[in-house]
A and B are shown apart, each in its own frame.
Chain A
């Protein structure tokens, strides 16, 4: 089965609304990373967050390792936040497995 599950699969927001993206993984993760993929394809690392809570700008990532879940919160969304958000986890082998992504569209 899918090792990393993300929800929702897609999300449409009005500019200014908040978003909560979820990531659940089926086995222990030693590394948990959130990525943003631009509509043009470029992948950018948002957070390396194996546990706890991290903030950067309008983004907050919270990972609860023993519950095998992580969330990405986007506050006051902007149209430039549109794109696909991926959660990726790896275990001791360093192999990284990606979730299927959440496609976000922020409307003006």
Chain B
């Protein structure tokens, strides 16, 4: 069966510090990968998606970047955090075909607080 792991679960960082959130998927190959952000009391905003190694698309301009160094690894980074980067970050994957195509499978999330 497929699983998705996301870490760290919680993170408190000062303004201007770097960020690295990591996500890995097991039990599937060649998945589409996604990073979403959920601000307090708001819906989900798609930040990045990837259809393959080294292929990253950004949905919104921002202070963050993403990388996919391996097929099942997706990393969200920042060189200098802003207060507005605080939120709940969710990694997700989807299959490209079959009955579950289009369905997203989410990690447990990483709560980032920037002080």
Bound pair (A, B): no
